[in-house]
Structure formats: C-alpha cells, structure tokens
Amino acid sequence: MRIPESARLSVGGVSPDMGDTELRDHFGRYGDVADIWLRRDRLTGLPRRFAFVQFMHPANAALALADHNHVVNGQKRPFRRGA
C-alpha cells in the first residue's frame, strides 16, 4: 500500500540524543505512525537535526499539523508538511 506524501511531516531541531522512539511516542498520539526517518550525515554518522514522520493516513498528519504545541524531550520542535 502506497501512503500519500500528505501523510508526511518534516520535523526540525532534532537533538543528537533524540531517537525514533521519542518521535514515535510523541506523534503517535495523533494516529498510527508508519515510519520515522532520522537523517544522518553520511561521513560522520551524526544526526542532521531533522527527521520525517510518516503517518498511515493524511488525516493524522493534518491533526498533528493543526496542533502547534510540539514539545519533545522538553523542547519545542518546528515542523511542517513533509516533502
């Protein structure tokens, strides 16, 4: 099953100690999370400070997008509709 791009969010400000578990726990409150992609630098392996959250349904991404209070690990995280 192909999941539409409208079901994806881009999350910025991801700290080096944040993993997919924290993102899945936070965004899971809006609906079923299909996948988390944490971007890493190819040379160093260090996090590139952004991630993508893929929901099963676009409506769940819309719910998350409508809520502007995204605090993960005690810090507010910027996010937008993913590309």
Number of folded domains in the chain?
Answer: 1
| Position 51 in a domain | yes
| Position 35 in a domain | yes
pLDDT at 15: 81
pLDDT in tens, the chain (83 residues): 677 888 999 888 888 778 889 889 989 999 999 999 998 888 988 778 888 999 999 999 999 988 877 666 666 666 666 55
The token pair at 61 is 């991404």
Range of the domain at 66: 5-72
The token pair at 62 is 């819309």
Burial, 23: exposed, middle or buried (Cβ in 10 Å; 0-12, 13-18, 19+)? buried
Q: What is the CATH number of the domain that holds 24?
A: 3.30.70.330
